[in-house]
């Protein structure tokens, strides 16, 4: 009698997580590459693979994944705030100090609880180099981050409007004026006031809380059409003064003109303030005019990979095609 041995081969594929874990048995050739190149590769891989899966490859890869994930933190909604706040409770403050280099807070808190939760989450990001803040987190956030650092550290600041220089309305602390120390002021090279405030704040009053700004190279100011004529004249004269008194390091002053909420966008370039500032630009090439778009500020920061902040100055200078800011 002949016996036939039948061998069965399972064709069921391994789970991806299990397959990737087998790679960790050997050192990955990826780790022989420069860290900067590995980070660029990981950013591309994120489009198809969850970071949590990549972290299982090896401890070294997991560390690099964290660098990519937390390098830019964008808090644009209640959900993103809750998730980040939860993460700050599970990791040490030192982790966020070393990992978070850019912090974007475009979220509008609905009450004191969400405001204070956001403040606690923001306060651990003491190592940031670039800050983008909505009007609700201006003075308090700048103070909590920059006030703790001997070197100031933050080189790029974008505020939604001049209203952000005051303590937020949901803050439990009394309103106070922002005043940066010289060490913090000297670190700032790029300062943007993205939109006009609800009331009139002169350029001199805007800059005063930031100190001497001895190393400022790029400045954005904003103005709204059909506003008070006397204030338009003050705005023009003070912009001229800024250009005159900062002849060396200051390379670009962007003046972004916004329409009134009830007006057509086409009115901007026909306005008196546009014509006035255009004459100033003809005398000093460092001044650049651009047209702003009402209520578009928060939409620019919905994604962590947004190039709005990085590309603003190139765009304003004409290195890339212009659009409404």
Residue 44's pLDDT is 82
Q: Is 101 domain-assigned?
A: yes
The residue with greater pLDDT, 162 or 219, is: 219
Q: Is 290 domain-assigned?
A: yes
Q: What is the rounded distance in angstroms from the CA atom of residue 94 to the CA atom of residue 118?
A: 18
Based on the fold, state whether residues 43 and 81 are members of the same structural domain. no
Q: Which of 57, 81, 108 is the last residue of a domain?
A: 57
The residue with greater pLDDT, 13 or 98, is: 98
Q: What is the mean pLDDT of residues 162-188?
A: 68
CATH of the domain at 113: 3.80.10
Weakest-pLDDT range from 46-50, 95-99, 239-243: 46-50
DSSP tally for the chain: helices H, then strands E: 13, 8
Q: What is the rounded distance in angstroms from the CA atom of residue 61 to the CA atom of residue 28?
A: 9
Based on the fold, state whether residues 183 and 207 are members of the same structural domain. yes
Based on the fold, state whether residues 92 and 48 are members of the same structural domain. no
Based on the fold, state whether residues 53 and 146 are members of the same structural domain. no
* Helix, strand and coil percent figures for the chain, each rounded to 5: 45, 15, 40
Tokens representing 280 are 């100033």
Give the domain range for residue 38: 16-57
CA dihedral 146, 148, 149, 155 (to 10 degrees): -10
Q: Is 4 domain-assigned?
A: no
Residue 147's pLDDT is 64
Weakest-pLDDT range from 31-35, 83-87, 182-186, 200-204: 31-35
Residue 111's pLDDT is 81
Closest by Cα among 258, 322, 314, 252 to 288: 252
- For the chain, the domain total comes to 2
Based on the fold, state whether residues 31 and 77 are members of the same structural domain. no
Q: What is the CA radius of gyration of the chain?
A: 25
Q: Is 40 domain-assigned?
A: yes
Based on the fold, state whether residues 91 and 150 are members of the same structural domain. yes
- Per-residue model confidence as pLDDT tens digits over 84-138: 999 999 999 999 999 999 998 888 787 888 888 888 888 888 889 998 888 777 6
Q: What is the mean pLDDT of residues 185-203?
A: 91
| Residue 275, CA atoms < 13 Å, CB-side half-sphere | 5
Q: Is 132 domain-assigned?
A: yes
- Asked whether residue 204 carries a pLDDT value surpassing 90, the answer given is yes
- Per-residue model confidence as pLDDT tens digits over 61-78: 888 888 888 988 988 888
Q: What is the mean pLDDT of residues 277-297?
A: 89
Tokens representing 136 are 């609700």
DSSP structure class, residue 283:
H
Residue 293: pLDDT band (50, 70, 90) is confident
Q: Is 125 domain-assigned?
A: yes
Q: Is 63 domain-assigned?
A: no
Residue 266's pLDDT is 66
Q: Is 6 domain-assigned?
A: no
Asked if residues 161 and 135 have their Cβ atoms less than 8 Å apart, the reply is: yes
Residue 36's pLDDT is 78
DSSP 100-112: --EEEE-----SH
Based on the fold, state whether residues 280 and 198 are members of the same structural domain. yes
- Per-residue model confidence as pLDDT tens digits over 29-38: 766 778 778 7
pTM for the structure as a whole: 0.80
Q: What is the mean pLDDT of residues 136-164?
A: 75
Q: What is the mean pLDDT of residues 256-285?
A: 87
Based on the fold, state whether residues 92 and 38 are members of the same structural domain. no
Contacts of residue 308, Cβ cutoff 8 Å, sequence gap at least 6? 300, 301
DSSP 115-129: HHHHHHHHHT-TT-S
Residue 63's pLDDT is 86
CA distances to 118, 149, 211 from 123, in Å = 8, 12, 22
- Asked whether residue 295 carries a pLDDT value surpassing 80, the answer given is no
- Asked whether residue 325 carries a pLDDT value surpassing 50, the answer given is yes
């Amino acid at each position: 009698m002949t016996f036939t041995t039948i061998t069965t081969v399972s064709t069921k594929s391994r789970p991806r997580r299990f397959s990737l874990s087998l790679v960790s048995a050997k050192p990955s050739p990826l780790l022989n590459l420069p860290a900067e190149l590995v980070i660029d590769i990981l950013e591309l891989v994120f489009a198809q693979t969850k970071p949590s899966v990549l972290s299982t490859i090896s401890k070294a890869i997991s560390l690099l994944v964290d660098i990519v994930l937390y390098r830019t933190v964008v808090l644009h909604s209640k959900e993103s705030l809750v998730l980040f706040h939860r993460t700050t409770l599970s990791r040490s403050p030192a982790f966020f100090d070393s990992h978070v280099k850019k912090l974007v807070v475009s979220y509008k808190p609905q009450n004191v609880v969400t405001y204070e939760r956001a403040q606690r989450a923001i306060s651990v990001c003491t190592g940031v180099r670039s800050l983008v803040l909505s009007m609700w987190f201006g003075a308090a956030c700048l103070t909590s981050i920059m006030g703790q650092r001997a070197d100031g550290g933050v080189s790029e600041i974008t505020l939604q409007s001049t209203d952000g220089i005051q303590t937020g309305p949901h803050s439990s602390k009394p309103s106070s004026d922002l005043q940066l120390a010289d060490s913090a002021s000297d670190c700032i090279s790029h300062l943007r006031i993205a939109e006009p405030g609800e009331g009139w704040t002169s350029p001199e009053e805007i800059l005063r809380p930031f100190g001497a700004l001895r190393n400022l190279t790029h400045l954005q100011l904003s103005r709204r059409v059909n506003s008070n004529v006397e204030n338009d004249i003050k705005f023009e004269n003070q912009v001229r003064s800024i250009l005159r008194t900062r002849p060396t390091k200051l390379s670009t002053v962007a003046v972004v003109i916004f329409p009134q909420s009830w007006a057509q966008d086409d009115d901007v370039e026909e306005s008196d303030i546009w014509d006035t500032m255009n004459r100033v630009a003809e005398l000093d090439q460092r001044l650049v005019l651009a047209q702003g778009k009402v209520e578009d500020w928060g939409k620019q920061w919905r994604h962590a990979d947004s190039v709005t902040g990085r590309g603003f100055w190139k765009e304003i200078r004409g290195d890339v095609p212009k659009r409404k800011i």
